[in-house]
Amino acid sequence: MKTLYDIIAEQPFFRSLNPEYMRQLADNAMQTWFEADELIFREGDVANRFYLIVEGKVTLESSAPNGQPVLLQTLGPGDLLGWSWLFSPYVWRVHARAVEPTEAIFFYGTRLLSACEADHDLGYEMFKRISEVMMHRLQSTRGKLNLAVAARTVGRQARQPETTPANKE
């Protein structure tokens, strides 16, 4: 039977992390499960935790200015879910929802952030790993932006010209 430590040590996110830190992470972690369609966190709520997805699928969503929900990202096994616990004002900026039965590891972010501030070796490792995830999310979001803008341009050309300039804001 695998221990929580074993499961954590297998996660690509923690690859080649010093075992002492891995243990510290395991001390601030627990396994958790979500049902299909269960809300994991809500935009605007306090962000005190993060997850690593072991099994299943989670979507990140936000709302367009007109209230229409927009899918920002779909996450799966091995993916990190949630970084707002690292950044003031420590509130979620998106909704996260399990779209199928999902197994994850919960990490107590607030406590880890204190540990990072006290031990900069750990802090450097955590920020570096999370920054790499942020870099990938940024690239994916800007890919979606390019597609959305291109689709809008094509749509506009097919219709009659709009009176408002596209890049007004």
Tell me which residues touch other proteins (CB under 8 A).
Answer: 62-66, 68, 70, 72, 83, 86-87, 93-94, 116, 120-121, 123-124, 127-128, 130-132, 134-135, 137-139, 141-142, 144-146, 148-153, 155, 159, 167, 169
Evaluate whether 54 touches 32 at the Cβ level (below 8 Å).
Answer: no
- Look up tokens 């990072």; give the residue: 116
What SS3 state is found at 156?
helix
SS3 category, 106 = strand
Q: Tell me whether residue 15 or residue 159 sits nearer to other proteins (CB atom).
A: 159
- The nearest distance, CB 20 to other proteins, in angstroms, is 14
- Output 19 or 67, the one with its CB closest to other proteins: 67
24 vs 32 by CB, closer to other proteins? 24
Closer CB to other proteins, residue 2 or residue 159? Answer: 159
CA distance 169 to 163: 15
Least Å from the CB of residue 91 to other proteins: 12
